[in-house]
Structure 1
Amino acid sequence: MPTSRVWARLLAVEKTVVESADYDPEKRAFVADVRPAAGQSNRCPICHRRCPGYDSGARLRYWRGLDFGTTAVYLRAVPVRIRCRFHGILTAAVPWARHQSRHTIEFERQVAWLVTQCSKTAITELMRISWRTVGAILTREHAALQAGRDRLAGLRRIGIDEVSFKRGQHYLTVVVDHDTGQLVWAAEGRDKATVRAFFTELGARRCAQLTHISADGAAWIARVVTECCPQAVFCADPFHVVQWTNEALNEVRRSAWRDARRQAAKEPKRSRGRPPKDAPPRPASALARGLKGARFALAKNPQNLTEKQAMKLEWVTKTDPRLYRAYLLKERLRLIFTLPDAAAAEVELDAWIQWARRCRIPAFVKLQRTITEHKRRILAAIEHGLSNGPVESVNAKIRVITRMAYGFHSSRPLIALAMLQLSGMKPRLPGR
Structure 2
Amino acid sequence: MHKINTFTLEGQENFGKILQTILEAPRDQGDIVLRVTIDPPAVCPACNEGKLHRHGFLKGREKKPKERKVRHAFLYGRWVILSWVPVRYKCYRCKKTYTLRPPGTNAWARFTKLGVQIVVYYAQRMSFTGAAQILNLTPGRVIRIVDKYIQPGLRGDDTQGPVVLTLDELSFSGKDFVCVVGRLAPDKRPLSILEDVRTATIRAYLEGLKEAGVKVEAVVIDMKDSWRKLIKTVFPSAKIIVDPFHVIQDANRRLNEARKVEQEASKENIPRLPLIKAKERLTPRQRETLEKIRNKYPSLYELYQLKEDLRQILKMDRVEEAQAALSRWLINAECAEDAEGRVWARTIKSWRSEILNLVTYTQQGRRYTNGYIEGKNTLIKMLKRLSFGFGNRTHFIKKMFLGCCPQNLIPQLLT
2:60 alignment partner in structure 1? 56
Q: Residue 131 of structure 1 corresponds to which residue in structure 2?
A: 139
Aligned to 2:373, which of 391, 398, 415? 391
Q: Does 1:188 align with 2:192?
A: no
Q: CA deviation at 1:195?
A: 1.9
Report the alpha carbon displacement of residue 341 of structure 1 after superposing the two structures with TM.
2.1
Structure 2: tracts of 5 or more residues without a match = 1-6, 16-28, 42-56, 87-98, 363-367
1:83-138 superposed Cα distances (whole Å, 9 cap, x missing partner): xxxxxxxxx99876568864443332112222345566652322122334333322
Name the structure 1 match of 2:408.
426
Which residue among 103, 107, 126 is the counterpart of 2:115?
Answer: 107
**Alpha-carbon separation, structure 1, partners of 2:108 and 2:233:** 40
The answer (yes or no) to whether the contact 1:176–1:390 under 8 Å persists in 2 is no
Cα distance in 2, alignment partners of residues 297 and 212 from structure 1: 35
Q: How much does 1:378 deviate? A: 1.3
Matching residue of 1:277: none
Q: What is the alpha-carbon distance in structure 2 between the residues aligned to residue 157 and residue 300 of structure 1?
A: 31
In structure 1, distance between residues paired with 2:259 and 2:337: 15
- 1:162 is matched with which residue? 169
Following TM superposition, by how much is the alpha carbon of 1:301 offset from its aligned partner in structure 2, in angstroms? Answer: 0.9
The answer to whether residue 375 in structure 2 is matched with residue 371 in structure 1 is no
Contact kept? 1:191, 1:220, Cα under 8 Å:
no
- Residues 140, 216 of structure 1: alpha-carbon distance in 2 compared, 3 angstrom cutoff: same
Aligned partners of 1:111 and 1:134 also within 8 Å: yes
Cα distance in 1 for residues equivalent to 2:38 and 2:161: 39
Contact 2:248 2:307 in 1 (8 A): yes
Asked if 1:245 corresponds to 2:248, the answer is no
Kept in 2: contact 1:113–1:426 (CA 8 A): no
Contact 2:166 / 2:220 at 8 angstroms: preserved in 1?
A: yes
Could you tell me the TM-score, scaled by structure 2's length?
0.71
Q: Residue 230 of structure 1 aligns with which residue? A: 236
Letter in 2 for 1:306: T
The question of whether the paired residues in 2 share the 8 Å contact of 1:155 and 1:177 is answered with no
Aligned 8 A contact 1:31 1:75 in 2: yes
Q: Which residue of 2 aligns with 1:173?
A: 180
2:376 partner SS: helix
1:6-33 C-alpha deviation (Å, 9 max, x unpaired): 499999xxxxxxxxxxxxxxx9766788
In structure 1, distance between residues paired with 2:127 and 2:13: 29
Q: TM-score, normalised by structure 1?
A: 0.69
Aligned to 2:385: 403
Structure 1 residue 422, shift from structure 2 partner: 4.1
Q: Match of 1:254?
A: 260
The residue type equivalent to 1:319 in the other structure is K
State how 1:276-287 maps to structure 2 within 5 Å.
284=267, 287=268
d(CA) in 2 for partners of 1:68 and 1:333? Answer: 56
Letter aligned with residue 207 of structure 2: T
Q: Alpha carbon RMSD of aligned pairs, Å?
A: 4.0
Q: Is the 8 A contact 1:120 1:404 kept in 2?
A: no
Matched, 1:350 2:327: yes
Confirm or deny that 1:214 pairs with 2:196: no
Per-residue CA deviation, residues 324-348 of structure 1 (Å, 9 max, x unaligned), is: 1111121122111223321221222
CA distance in 2: counterparts of 1:251 and 1:101, whole angstroms:
60
SS in 1 for 2:9: helix
Q: Is the 1:173–1:188 contact (alpha carbons within 8 Å) kept by the matching residues of 2?
A: no
Which residue pairs with 1:325 in the alignment?
Answer: 302
Identity level (%): 22
Number of equivalent positions: 357
Larger RCO (CA within 8 A; separation ≥ 6):
1
Q: Are residues 1:309 and 2:286 paired?
A: yes
Cα displacement (A) at 1:157:
1.9
CA distance in 1, matches of 2:181, 2:101: 35
Aligned residue identity for 1:235: I
Contact 2:132-2:139 within 8 A present in 1 as well: yes
Paired with 1:147 and 1:331, the residues of 2 have a C-alpha distance of 41
- In structure 1, distance between residues paired with 2:336 and 2:375: 36
Q: C-alpha displacement at 1:365, in angstroms?
A: 2.2
Please give the alpha-carbon distance, in whole angstroms, between the structure 1 residues aligned to 2:124 and 2:140. 16
Gap regions ≥5 residues in structure 1: 12-26, 40-52, 80-91, 261-283
| Partner amino acid, structure 2, of 1:225 | I
The C-alpha deviation readout for 1:142-172, integer Å capped at 9, x for no partner, is 34x9897444543422222222243342323
CA shift for structure 1 position 176: 2.1
Q: Which amino acid aligns with 2:262?
A: A
* Residues 260-315 of structure 1: CA deviation (Å, up to 9, x unaligned): 3xxxxxxxxxxxxxxxxxxxxxxx4xx23xx1xx1111011111012222222122
Question: 2:36, 2:389 → 1: CA distance?
Answer: 35
How many angstroms apart in 2 are the aligned matches of 1:200 and 1:147? 13
Q: Aligned ranges for residues 18-33 of structure 1 at < 5 Å?
A: none
CA distance in 2, matches of 1:106, 1:8: 19
> How many Å separate the matches in 2 of 1:247 and 1:77?
66
Change (3 A) 1:197 1:111: same
- Matches of 1:147 and 1:35 in 2, distance apart? 38
Read off the aligned partner of 1:392 and give its amino acid letter.
E
Change (3 A) 1:348 1:9: farther
Offset, 1:250: 0.6
The verdict on how the C-alpha distance between 1:198 and 1:28 changes in structure 2, with shifts beyond 3 A counting, is same
